[in-house]
Amino acid sequence: MTTIRHIGVLTGGGDCPGMNAALRALVKAATHRHGIRVSGFLDGFAGLLDDASRPLGFDDVSGILTQGGTILGASNRHDPFRVPVPGPGGPTYRDRSDAVLATLARHEVDALVAIGGDGTLRIARQLGARGVPVVGVPKTIDNDVGGTEVSVGFDSARSIATDAVDRLHSTAASHHRIMVVEVMGRHAGWIALEAGVAGGGDVILIPEIRWSYEAVARDIGERTARGRRFSIVVIAEGAPRPDGGTVVREIVAGSPEPVRLGGVGAVLAQALGAILPFETRYVVLGHVQRGGAPTPSDRILATRFGAAAVDAVMEGAWGAMVALRGDRIVRVPIADAVAEPKVVDPEGELVAAARAIKTSFGDGVSST
């Protein structure tokens, strides 16, 4: 057993339901089972760069199980290995990871737990290469972190998106409209696929399956011929247009992930409106998917991950990420988890099941 007296923890990347549940479990397991002090660094890696932290004890995490977001704050703009420095010709970037090491040493932090998605975990891996004893906890609504079947936040986002699809059925049917629902998912279509299946979406468009306006219109036309006077289309924000490229909402200079997607739902709705004799409307769920209380499944998963992260720390499993495999919590190397995103298998069982019930993926593949 490694001698541990003080654990640091941060929540990086985008916020999502379940982050507080993971913090609560980590703090309670560390203090109750091991008598270890815990400090939370504020706003992701910004807290390590700026030496901003707060102590976390039993009372600090009491009552946060059901709260969305994170009491520590989160940020996807601070990469200590690539900090922007303003200049006359635009920003340049420098490595300030020494400041992170100095902060950890100043506070006598024996281990760091990073709760986040692929960006946060990549930085954690780099810090590990610099000698920081680090353990990862996967958190992302996109569910694209490798090595784990599910990440904290996905079930909540899926539930929110499913509820939206459910609610749009009645208004689409009443007005005989095509309703396009744009959900999050930059590189992976898990939310669109699973919310689309769960909500009875007629067309599901994801980054992993190439689609065309004509194929979508044809499949909606077939529904019309069967007497269905409305259709629901669920599309991931990262689904590329048929003519190539994703739809970009804005570029955020200085961010580790400067390209912000959004708008493909509007593009699709306009295209379908020009082809089909239906009114077409679109809805962008956006950050609604990140908000609100976590589902019971996310609360349970986050609790298991938080407790397992403390076990990994106590056993000196540096460079490991806790993960769900089947019904067991296991450890996988962070390096393996971030090697490539976990994406939807176009030939997978869920896609096949959706095709079997005549769900369209806009690719012209027959469902029969």
Catalytic residues: 142
The residues, ordered by sequence, that sit 6+ positions from 262 with a Cβ below 8 Å of its Cβ are 182, 237, 247, 248, 249, 250, 284, 286
Cα separations (Å) of 143 from 192, 224, 339?
11, 34, 15
Please tell me what DSSP assigns to residue 152: B
Entry field: residues in the chain: 368
Tokens 């353990």 -> residue: 135
Q: H helices of the chain, where? A: 19-34, 45-50, 58-61, 97-106, 118-129, 154-175, 190-199, 213-225, 264-275, 296-314, 334-337, 349-356
At residue 257, the 3 state secondary structure works out as coil
Distances (CA, A) of 104 to 123, 132, 136: 15, 9, 17
Residues in Cβ contact with 335 at an 8 Å cutoff, skipping those fewer than 6 apart: 125, 319
Q: Do 121 and 321 touch, CB atoms closer than 8 A? A: yes
Amino acid identity for residue 160 in this structure: I
- Parallel/antiparallel/unpaired status of strands 37-41 and 53-56: antiparallel
